Each structure stands twice: as C-alpha cells, then as structure tokens.
C-alpha cells in the first residue's frame, strides 16, 4: 500500500518561480548572467537537498502550495534556499509518495 505525505514550506520568490517553472528565468533580468546562474544553482541545490533528505521514504517532488498561506512581507528566512532577505513568502509543498 502506498502512502502520501506532504511537507509545507514558506519560500522566497526566487524558489517559488523555480518550483513553478522549473527554473527562475522569470527574474533573470534582475541579475547579471553570472549571478543568475549562481542563484539558479543555489535554488536547484536546495531543492535537491530537500528531496534527497526523504529518499529513503519514497519519491518526492515540489508543487505550488495554498496561496491563502502566502505572506505579503516577511523577515523570516526562506525555508528552502535559506536566504535571509526579507520579502514575500509563498507556500509550496513537497509531496512524498512511498
């Protein structure tokens, strides 16, 4: 019998775009190309780190969460990439199927 678990995260705009589109090219004009590549890699690494942390439990993937839980402004660290820059925080979920 399969089990399904859901872990919720509050993430920055960069991580939110990356999860929603597979990259964060939506904001690439805000960065110089080298900085954009570095930031994109940081987010991809953060996603991989979280997914690998539950590998023994089952297959996992991130999805956009409940927008009613989004925060217009927050000083809390992004729970995915761990950026401490203040700004909007969005709800995303890691779905784990075991």
What is the per-residue pLDDT across 19-39, written as a single tens digit (0 to 9) for each? 988 766 655 566 677 778 888
Could you give the percent of the chain with pLDDT greater than 90? 63
Domain count, the chain: 1
Phi, psi (degrees; rounded to nearest 5) at 44: -60, -40
Q: What is the pLDDT of residue 38?
A: 86
Euclidean distance between CA atoms 46 and 2, whole angstroms? 26
Residues 91/70, Cβ–Cβ less than 8 Å: yes
For 45-61, the pLDDT digits (tens) are: 999 999 999 988 779 99
| Domain span including residue 35 | 4-97
pTM metric for this prediction: 0.84
């Amino acid at each position: 019998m399969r089990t399904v678990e859901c872990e919720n995260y509050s993430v920055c705009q960069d991580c939110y775009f990356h999860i929603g589109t597979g990259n964060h090219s939506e904001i690439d004009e805000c960065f110089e190309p080298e900085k954009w590549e570095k930031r994109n890699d940081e987010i991809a690494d953060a996603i991989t780190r979280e997914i690998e942390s539950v590998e023994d439990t089952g297959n996992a993937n991130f999805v956009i969460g409940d927008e009613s839980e989004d925060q217009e402004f927050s000083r809390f660290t992004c729970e995915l990439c761990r950026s401490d820059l203040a700004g909007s925080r969005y709800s995303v979920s890691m779905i784990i199927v075991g």
